[in-house]
Amino acid sequence: MRRRSVTFAAVGAAFVAGAVVGPMVAAWAQDPGGRAETYRLLNLFGDVFERVRAEYVEPVNDRDAIENAIQGMLSGLDPHSSYMNPRMYRDMQVQTRGEFGGLGIEVTQEGGYIKVISPIDDTPAARAGVKPGDLITHLNGNSVQGLSLQEAVEQMRGERGSTIRITIRREGSDRPVELSITRDVIRPQVVRFRLEGNDIGYIRLTSFNEQTETGLRRAMQQLRQQAGNNLRGVVLDLRNNPGGLLDQAVQVSDDFLDQGEIVSTRARRPEDAQRWNARSGDIAQNLPVVVLINSGSASASEIVAGALQDHRRAIVMGVKSFGKGSVQTVMPIPGNGAMRLTTARYYTPSGRSIQATGIEPDIEVLSAREDAAQTVAARRDREADLRRALRNDNGAQPQAAPPLPPLNLPAGLLEQVQRMPAEGAAAFDPTKPETDHQLQQAVQLLRGMAAAPNPQRRAAR
């Protein structure tokens, strides 16, 4: 039976939990003379394993020890290869399906407690009165202190119809707030959209799961209905989108392209190289598009931004992206979870790898004035800053990627774009689009392109 594998293009965390060890079956086939050394290393692992079992200060669970060793072997390769035990593998499958049983809150961790970023509209948490800024201190009477964020999230998820009791510390309230919430099926909103004014469509993609491309098409259809004949352009917001499924990145890119290559991958063996091409059909019907990116736009987001930029189908605006140009394949291990293994690098249509370099915007626009003075040490880490990050192999290619075609913007329009907010401008508030400087510059650019006589929608590649 052929095992099903899933290909990802996303930023993932890898935790070094053991030594880099393990059998090297492929190496044996390639180098029979190396078998003696491989056997010696396997004996070394066996000796260490037995010593740990016999002499560690507390009894050691064999499965935990072996899984930690496997995790160490994989995470020692690069930042995105890892081992998933059965529970972690199930969680990953739930996330990629885009629905799960739970409460419906976006959370982070603060001071040992779980802090609510926002309840998702029309979910059990929202209906129960959970508010942004709430600190969850107890779950079913047990303190969340000492739990990791992932462990707390796992406890809040569960079967539809099951109930959980949460204790909240809320600013302005003298007593803890006790809520009993019945779990339901949660479908995170990975596609958000609205009209800016009555003429510019705004579509935000928060990740690439199985629902993304369908949601994008639905958003485009509804924006057209809302705008009537007034729709003049589209902003595709990929800021802080960490990526997800490779096939969804390909489909989203294809939605805006009529022809040409979308992305290609090159693996260890030349015969495993793959290439995806666009099919006819542009859901934006040739309207101008601006793609917003920042340092949190990674992998699948960079595939979309790179494809639309290379074909000059969209103008990429913002700041340089994260720079993750590798592809992970999730390989199930029957009865023992799965392994996430980096199996290829991907390349934009022009043949450039963005691994450890990122997508450079066509027009740099900062989100805040302080970004201009931000030091290298203070800025958000990118792929190149991660330990064991794969190198960029552009220099190893026989031909350098050709330069991109010019933007061909109407005269004087580029000069109207403001690189940073005006001094004294209101601080960014996610509930107030008028404070989003990058978005407002994108909207202004699109309106200027639409107003120009015979605007150049795209340049052929």
Under 8 Å between Cβ of 150 and 60: no
Under 8 Å between Cβ of 187 and 122: no
Residue type for 98, please? G
Sequence-distant contacts of 454-459: CB under 8 A, at least 24 apart? 455/288, 455/410, 456/408, 456/409, 456/410, 457/286, 457/287, 457/288, 458/286, 458/311, 458/312, 458/313, 459/312, 459/405, 459/406, 459/408
Q: Tokens representing 27?
A: 């190496």
> 246-256 and 212-227 helices cross at what angle (nearest 10)?
30
Alpha carbon distance 60, 78 (integer Å) = 27
Q: Tokens representing 383?
A: 């792929």
Q: What angle do CA 239, 244, 245 make, to 5 degrees?
A: 135
Alpha carbon distance 197, 428 (integer Å) = 19
Query: Which residues on adjacent β-strands are paired with residue 119?
Result: 105
Q: Tokens representing 43?
A: 């004996």
Alpha carbon distance 145, 148 (integer Å) = 8
Strand, helix or coil for residue 443: helix
Under 8 Å between Cβ of 317 and 429: no
Strand, helix or coil for residue 88: helix
Radius of gyration of the chain (CA): 25
- The DSSP symbol for 65 reads H
Strand, helix or coil for residue 166: strand
Residue 246: how many other CB atoms lie within 10 Å? 26
First to last CA, the chain: 43
Catalytic residues, by residue number, are: 299, 310, 324
